[in-house]
Structure 1
């Protein structure tokens, strides 16, 4: 049983059975990592089951640059130098490797086989220098028959749908609606009620 910050039992937790993970930017890396661990844990997580994941403009990187990493490296919101510094600060000193499994999920042997991953919704921004790797990850999941949906939003940058100053733009509003529709449809297709 989980206890809330006010010391009261949080009894709703033990009734929860379905979990949709959502991660934004580096949180998408965390969501994907948790999904990997949930696949490996299998029944150990009962009564919780990760049934899907939503990865919004992932913070994935790798040692071989993609076209978007080359063309957009020094433009818009996050530049490549800042992101490389973030990875250097995050990864253990002896493991500063852009092909580390938490940085690049496309490296073989990174965790459970991709075919075991939950259905995945991917959100990509046109002017995000990390977009190509997110698209490539979606394509690899699709190749092994994971249910994948990719939403590609034009004329926007990294964090366009979650940054306060951009929340009112049409693409951010469309993204929020698209995600809500996908989650509701996905849950209802499995015979479960979705409430929020």
Structure 2
């Protein structure tokens, strides 16, 4: 009798890392059995760096305020994307464009963290809503009175929202893993 080892992982990405985590989740869905014995079982996306060519309400109202402004983010996308592909509707920038990769219904369960004063929050919320519409298990944590990266910047780690966020994520991961019978190690 042989036993099969399976490595289950939860992807976590912060800011532009959330885009990377989502992209890796998409690729893992497409690769399916090619990744054996690795299986992406969930993703945690914290204040995504999603953008698009049609601005959302938060992108308009908060574009020039708080931690990252829109001009800085546009520059980041210009530096990140290949010169011939600079387009705010590129699949890594905007997860809501048609034909971006595998169908949303194939994506893993997702925990989304958004900050009230983050100008990119509306697109992250919209992405969570689209995942929910196709029956992906989605939890959205919305933190008031905070900015982009509130729970990961050293200078903000002691604020109550950052501490609550860390606790909320830990509780979600533990519940998610135990409810599905997965083993989890650190």
TM-score normalized with structure 2 length:
0.96
| Deviation sequence 1:44-95 (CA, Å, 0-9, x none) | 1111100000000000000000000000000001000000000011111111
Instruction: Give the deviation of 1:171 after TM superposition.
Output: 0.2
Distance 1:62 1:77 in 2: 19
Distance 2:184 2:102 in 1: 28
Q: Does residue 1:92 correspond to 2:82, yes or no?
A: yes
Instruction: Give the deviation of 1:194 after TM superposition.
Output: 2.8
| Unmatched tracts of structure 1, length 5 or more | 1-16
**Of residues 107, 119, 122 in structure 2, which corresponds to 1:132?**
122
Could you tell me which residue of structure 2 aligns to residue 195 of structure 1? 185
Instruction: Give the deviation of 1:193 after TM superposition.
Output: 3.1
Moved over 6 A (4+): none
Could you tell me which residue of structure 2 aligns to residue 176 of structure 1? 166
Distance 1:59 1:136 in 2: 13
| Deviation sequence 1:146-191 (CA, Å, 0-9, x none) | 0000000000000000000000000000000000000000000111
Instruction: Give the deviation of 1:142 after TM superposition.
Output: 0.2
SS in 1 for 2:20: helix
TM-score normalized with structure 1 length:
0.91
Distance 1:129 1:98 in 2: 15
SS in 1 for 2:12: strand
| Deviation sequence 1:108-150 (CA, Å, 0-9, x none) | 1000000000000000000000000000000000000000000
SS in 2 for 1:19: strand
**Of residues 23, 40, 44 in structure 2, which corresponds to 1:50?**
40
Aligned residues: 180
More displaced stretch, 113-122 vs 185-194 = 185-194
Distance 1:35 1:46 in 2: 14
Instruction: Give the deviation of 1:195 after TM superposition.
Output: 3.7
Distance 1:189 1:73 in 2: 40
Distance 1:152 1:52 in 2: 19
